[in-house]
Amino acid sequence: MRKKGGKEKLNRLANKHVLQLSIILFLLIIIAVVVIVARKVIINNGQATNFETEEISNNDDSEQSQNTTNSTNETGTENSSNTVTASNNLSLLDDWQIRLVNRDNPLPDDFTVELENLDASRKFDKRAIEPLKQMICDMRDRGIKNIWAQSTYRSIEYQKGLYEKSINKYLKQGKSQEEAQKLTDEYINRPGTSEHHLGLAVDFNNVDEGFENTKAYKWLLENASDYGFILRYPKEKEDITGIEYEPWHWRYVGPEHAKKMKEQNLCLEEYVLGSNLV
């Protein structure tokens, strides 16, 4: 009996140990699972801001893509993030119609485009001149006679002249060089950063805000997307485009893109780069 009792005690002791070990093992597994889940959450959060960059860039080289993400996170500056975004998109979104030209995305010095004459002194991209002519023609047919293309393609040289002229105007008004530059930057793109260099932008009539109150402007808001044109610098997008509202400036992006941008109320920066990146 005593012997049997001792065995039972031994068995109970062994069972107790097995139970304790099982509990410890179970706890270890739970800790491991928690650690793995926590790590995943941290990694996902770290990549979240760059998710769209990677999606747009569709980078096959995952290692390079990872490096890009890391370097952006480490430096954390707006400039570096813009540079990454811009270079990825310029090389991969290979669509001439939605080529983004702005302060962060200047054109290369060797940029060329095939132009065609709109009239004696104005030129436009050969691939988009017909929609522009058609649009102006249709406006006139609808009784809007007071419409003309004032400024279309501009060479980088010409833009230099415009930019300097504006700076000088402000200097003559007694502004400092810094103030003159700031005021000029609000309306005139620095040479190389104007989309007029593309031959896809048109300024209508007197190039002033009064254009907003014309029949032509209202007609353009309604119909320009059918011809592939968008209002490039809308009032509510000034923070994103970095350019003050310009009712006179319209940009050809092709009907397909223009309609999508109009429907979704996106400016070109948002459409090309993704709304979280600008």
**Residues at the interface with Zn ion (CB under 5 A):** 203, 249
Pick 198 or 277: Cβ nearer Zn ion: 198
Task: Write b or e for each residue in 242-275: b if 16 or more Cβ atoms lie within 10 A of its Cβ, otherwise e.
Answer: bbeebbbbbbbbbbebbeebbeeebbbbbbbbbe
The structure tokens listed for 15 are 């069972």
CB 148 within 8 A of CB 118: no
Exactly one of 54, 164, 246, 256 is catalytic; name it: 246
Q: How far is the CB of 196 from Zn ion (least distance, A)?
A: 6
- Residue 212 bears catalytic tag: no
Comparison of 258 and 277: residue with beta carbon closer to Zn ion: 258
Q: In angstroms, give the least distance from the CB of 271 to Zn ion.
A: 18
Query: What distance in Å separates the CA atoms of residue 253 and residue 95, rounded to the nearest whole number?
Result: 9
- Which CB sits closer to Zn ion, 136 or 277? 136
**Structure tokens given for 184:** 């000029």
User: Which residue has the closest beta carbon to Zn ion?
Assistant: 249
Nearest approach, Cβ of residue 130 and Zn ion (Å): 20
* Residue placing its CB nearer to Zn ion in the complex, 233 or 271: 233
Beta strand spans in the chain (E)? 115-117, 123-125, 149-151, 201-204, 229-231, 249-252
Separation between Cα atoms, residue 170 and residue 177, nearest integer Å: 8
Residue 52 in tokens: 């769209």
Q: Cβ 135 to Zn ion, closest distance in Å?
A: 16
C-alpha to C-alpha distances, 144 to 21, 207, 210, 215, 219, nearest whole angstrom = 88, 17, 16, 7, 9
What residues are labeled active site? 246
